[in-house]
C-alpha cells in the first residue's frame, strides 16, 4: 500500500519535473541547481497533496464538532490559508533556504577547510546509521524536544514573543493557523534547526511520509474542533490541549508566560511541568486585542506590525523608549 502510494508520488513528481521544471531550468542556464529543482518539485507536489489531505480531513471535522461554529472562511481565516499555501507549497522555505545557503555555506566551507568537522552522533552510536526504526524514533524525539524548548523561549524572551505574537494573534483559530508565522521567526527556526543539525547531525531523509504525518498532526492541533484524543492526550498534542495554549489568560500569560508548548508529543510538557489538561476550550488571541490593539489582518499587515513590535521591543531592551507593558 505504502509502496504503491510512493510509486504514484514518484511518477507524478517525475512527470511534473520532466515536463515543466527540467526544461525551464535548462533554458535558464541553471543546471547546477537541477537536483535541487527536483527536490523543490517534490516539495511542491508533496505540499499540494498534504494541503489537500489536511483539508479533506480537518474541514469535515471542524464542521462536525466546532468550538466556534460558523467561522470557516472569514477574512482572518483567508489570511491563514495564504500563510499555509506559501509555507507548504515552498515559497517561504525557498526564502529561508536561500538566506541560510548564502549565510552559512561560506562559513561551513571555511571551517571545514581549517579542519573542523561537525559532530555526528552516528560515530558514537552506529546503530543510528544502520537501523532505520531507531534512527527515525531518535530524530523525531530529539527534534520534537528541541522544538518544545524553542517554543518556550519564543514565549519567554520579549523580542521573540513580539514575532511569535503573529501566530497567537489569530482569534478565529482553524487548522490553517499552524503556518501563520512571521518571516523572521521562520528564519530563526531555520537557524535553530541548522544549529541542532550541527550538534546531533542531520535527520534522515528516508522517511518523508512520517514527517508529512507530523506536519498533519500540527495542523490538526490548531483545528476549530472539540476533541481531546481521550487517553492518547497523554502522548499526543490534541486540538483541545493546543487551544488551551492559544487561550487568552491561560496559554501565554501564567506560569511564566504559558503552558502546553509541545508541538507533536505532550510528554515534554508533562516532564517539565508545563502541561495543562483542563477540559475547556477558551477564546484564543492576545489579551490586549480585547482592548482594541491591532496585530494586523492581512499577510503584509501582520508582517509589518510584527517588525514594528520587534523594533519597539529591541528599543526598550537597549534602554530607549517605550515602557508599554507587553501583552501576552
Partner 1 sequence: MTAITSPAPIAFACRVRRSLFRVLSTALLGCALLAASASNAMLPNEHAIVLNSGDGTVSLIDRATRKVVKTFPVGKEPHHLIGTLKDDEVVVANAVSNDLVFLDPVSGEVKRRLPRISDPYQLAYSPDGKWFISISLRLNRVDLYSMPNYELKARIPAAKTPSHVVFSSDSRMAYVTMQDSNELLAIDITTQKEAWRMPIGKTPAGIWLSPQGLIFVGIMSSDYVEVIDPVKRATVKKIVTGKGAHNVFPMGNGSKILVSNRVDGTITPVDYKTLVAEKPIKVGSGVDCMDISEDGKEVWATVRFEGRVAVIDMTGQKPIHYIPVGRSPHGIYFRSHARRDQ
Binding mask 78-117 for partner 1 (x = CB under 8 A): ---------------------------x--xx--xx---x
Q: Which residue has the cell 506590525?
A: 305
Closer Cβ to partner 1, 85 or 129, answer by number: 129
Locate all alpha helices (DSSP H) within the chain, ordered by sequence: 2-16, 22-27, 34-64, 75-88, 91-113, 121-124, 127-130, 132-156, 158-168, 183-200, 208-221, 239-246, 254-257, 267-271, 299-317
In whole angstroms, the minimum distance from the beta carbon of 14 to partner 1 comes to 5
Cα 100 from Cα 104, distance rounded (Å): 6
- Please enumerate in sequence order all residues whose Cβ is within 8 A of that of 153, keeping only pairs 6 or more positions apart, or say none: 160
Distance, CA of 79 to chain centre: 16
Max distance between CA atoms of the chain, in angstroms, equals 61
Q: Of 11 and 280, which has the nearer Cβ to partner 1? A: 11
Displacement of CA 160 from its chain's centroid (Å): 15
| Shortest CB 235 distance to partner 1, Å | 27
The distance from CA 94 to its chain's CA centroid, rounded to whole angstroms, is: 15
- At closest approach, how far in Å is the CB of 122 from partner 1? 6
- Number of residues in contact with partner 1 under rule CB under 8 A: 39
- Contact between 199 and partner 1 by CB under 8 A: the answer reads no
Q: Is 194 in the site for partner 1 (CB under 8 A)?
A: no
* Minimum separation from the CB atom of position 18 to partner 1 (A): 4
DSSP three-state, residue 319: coil
The stretch among 88-96, 130-138, 222-230, 243-251 that binds partner 1 (CB under 8 A) is 130-138
Binders in 135-164 for partner 1, by CB under 8 A: 135
| Total residues belonging to the chain | 328
Closer Cβ to partner 1, 82 or 204, answer by number: 204
Binding mask 251-280 for partner 1 (x = CB under 8 A): ------------------------------
Task: State in angstroms the smallest separation of the CB of 307 from partner 1.
Answer: 33
* CB nearer to partner 1: pick between 116 and 231: 116
Tell me which DSSP letter residue 150 carries: H
C-alpha cell at 118: 561537525
Work out whether 294 is an interface residue with partner 1 (CB under 8 A). no
Measured distance CA(314)–CA(304) in Å, rounded: 15
Q: In this structure, are residues 313 and 159 in contact, taking their beta carbons and an 8 Å threshold?
A: yes
Cβ atoms < 10 Å from Cβ of 69: 10
Considering only residues 23 through 82, tell me which ones interact with partner 1, judged by CB under 8 A. 23, 26, 29-32, 34-35, 38-39
Interface residues toward partner 1, by CB under 8 A: 7, 10-11, 13-14, 17-18, 22-23, 26, 29-32, 34-35, 38-39, 105, 108-109, 112-113, 117-118, 120, 122-123, 126, 129-132, 135, 201-202, 204-206
Amino acid at each position: 500500500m505504502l509502496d504503491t502510494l510512493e510509486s504514484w508520488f514518484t511518477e507524478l513528481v517525475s512527470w511534473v519535473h520532466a515536463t515543466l521544471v527540467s526544461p525551464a531550468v535548462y533554458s535558464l542556464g541553471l543546471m547546477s541547481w537541477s537536483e535541487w529543482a527536483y527536490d523543490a518539485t517534490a516539495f511542491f507536489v508533496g505540499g499540494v497533496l498534504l494541503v489537500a489531505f489536511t483539508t479533506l480531513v480537518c474541514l469535515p471535522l471542524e464542521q462536525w464538532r466546532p468550538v466556534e461554529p460558523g467561522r470557516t472562511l472569514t477574512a482572518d481565516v483567508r489570511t491563514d490559508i495564504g500563510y499555509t499555501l506559501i509555507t507548504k507549497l515552498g515559497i517561504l522555505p525557498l526564502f529561508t533556504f536561500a538566506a541560510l545557503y548564502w549565510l552559512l555555506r561560506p562559513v561551513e566551507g571555511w571551517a571545514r577547510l581549517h579542519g573542523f568537522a561537525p559532530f555526528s552522533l552516528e560515530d558514537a552510536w552506529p546503530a543510528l546509521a544502520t537501523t532505520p526504526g531507531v534512527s527515525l524514533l531518535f530524530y523525531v524525539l530529539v527534534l520534537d524536544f528541541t522544538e518544545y524548548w524553542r517554543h518556550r523561549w519564543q514565549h519567554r524572551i520579549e523580542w521573540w514573543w513580539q514575532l511569535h505574537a503573529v501566530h497567537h494573534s489569530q482569534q478565529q483559530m482553524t487548522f490553517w493557523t499552524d503556518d501563520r508565522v512571521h518571516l523572521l521567526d521562520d528564519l530563526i527556526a531555520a537557524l535553530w534547526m541548522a544549529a541542532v543539525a550541527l550538534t546531533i547531525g542531520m535527520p534522515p531523509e528516508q522517511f518523508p511520509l512520517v514527517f508529512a504525518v507530523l506536519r498533519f498532526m500540527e495542523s490538526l492541533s490548531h483545528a476549530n474542533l472539540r476533541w481531546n484524543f481521550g487517553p492518547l492526550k497523554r502522548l499526543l498534542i490534541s486540538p483541545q490541549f493546543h487551544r488551551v495554549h492559544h487561550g487568552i489568560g491561560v496559554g501565554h500569560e501564567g506560569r511564566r508566560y504559558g503552558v502546553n508548548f509541545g508541538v507533536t508529543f505532550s510528554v515534554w510538557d508533562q516532564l517539565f511541568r508545563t502541561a495543562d489538561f483542563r477540559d475547556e476550550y477558551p477564546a484564543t488571541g492576545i489579551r490586549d486585542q480585547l482592548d482594541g490593539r491591532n496585530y494586523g489582518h492581512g499577510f503584509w499587515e501582520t508582517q509589518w506590525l510584527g517588525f514594528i513590535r520587534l523594533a519597539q521591543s529591541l528599543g526598550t531592551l537597549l534602554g530607549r523608549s517605550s515602557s508599554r507593558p507587553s501583552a501576552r
